Amino acid sequence: MDTNVINLFNSVPAANDSGFFARTDSAIQTSANQITFEQNLLSVLVSDLSKGLMQAEAGRVQRGEIGRATWQVMGNRLRAHIVPLLGDVPAQAFAASDAQRLIDHLGEQGFTSTTIAQYLVLLRKVVMHGVHTGVLREAPPFPKVKVRSRPRGSFSVSEYRAIVAAARSLRGRAHPMLDQLGAGERFWIARELLVMPDELPRLIRWMVNTFVRPSDIKLMKHKHIEIVRGKHVYLRMNLPESKRHSQPIVSLQPAVRVYECLLAHRARHGFDGADDYIFLPQLKNREHALAVLNFLFHWVLEAEGIEKGPLGQDRTLYCLRHTAITLRLLYGQGIDMLTLARNARTSVNMVERFYASVLNGEMNVGLLQSRRGRTV
């Protein structure tokens, strides 16, 4: 008989093998468990992956790998568009066409290519969470979005002066919305806050002379500010970490006078303690405080008719930060981009892409035409 056949017979269990059923039963049970597991995987939806991702990212917040604000933005974006549109899609059926649906949906909503790309990155994180947890074997290819950098509309010197003057002239005046509200009718801002406060013109000057982000404004307390008087006079601001930057910020000298006026005003109302917030300290909900300041700032822009930037961009408080950096690039004597970027808690690449991109040669024609002095 062929030896291969003999070997084959030798591998076959005997009929009286008492251990046969014990060995085969475990194999059958494993197969059944695998079938049940695969059936469970088929029931996992994109919304389930989103919840799992948020839980995983919460752990990263606790470990200090990402900021809580970043985690909150992720949750807001998932709830706003990703889950309502794609939450019911089975995870294992997710395809590139679903990602394209999100792109088309956000485009119809008027989102910029930059924002759409950010949503796409978040959706990819959701899908990759499925890969890492064993729900998916691999992620499908994602469509690409061509991002066009569009800087926010910074203010010219004349516009900056105009909005400061307008904010001053509006102090103590009621917002037009108050006239539209009926008796007992509610608005998202309390009625007592619909009056232009003394601090708004100071906020405008503060942001242009400190380089801070609006997100810094809502968290800034007196304990974060130190007045330095030496060869140079400035504020040293040790602010909470933002966008993975934690180094102190140095202000321009005019910010010192602005802060001293603010501090004196706060002292008269009992809000000058180390743990008191600098702007709208009476509001404990700091997200709401920032929203109110943005609303009041937009009122100033409407009064001056400059709500839009030169490229049609909507202008917000963030434009004051852009103005601060742009004016330093224009008028700062010999300042280098690395120093400016680090002090503004950003990168040289971001300065070049979003801040310096609005400059042109004629703005610094004097430097272009300058000549080195002759050495004797």
pLDDT at 368: 45
116-125 residue pLDDT tens: 999 999 999 9
The listed CATH number (3.40.50.2000, 1.10.443.10, 3.40.640.10, 1.10.10.10) that belongs to domain 157-359: 1.10.443.10
What are the tens digits of pLDDT across the range 242-262? 656 678 899 999 999 999 999
The residue ranges of every structural domain in the chain are 20-148, 157-359
- pLDDT of 331 higher than 70: yes
How many percent of the chain have pLDDT more than 70? 81
Mean pLDDT of the region 237-241:
84
CA distance 165 to 277: 25
Same fold, 20-148 and 157-359: no
Q: Which residue has the higher pLDDT, 344 or 130?
A: 130
Report, as an integer, the average pLDDT of 312-337.
86
Q: Assign 37 a pLDDT band (cuts: 50, 70, 90).
A: very low
CATH architecture of 20-148: Orthogonal Bundle (1.10)
Residue 152: predicted pLDDT:
67
Q: What is the pLDDT of residues 54-107, one digit of tens each?
A: 999 999 989 988 878 889 999 999 999 999 999 999 999 999 999 999 999 999
Residue 54's identity, in one-letter code, is: M
The mean per-residue pLDDT over the stretch 357-373 comes to 49
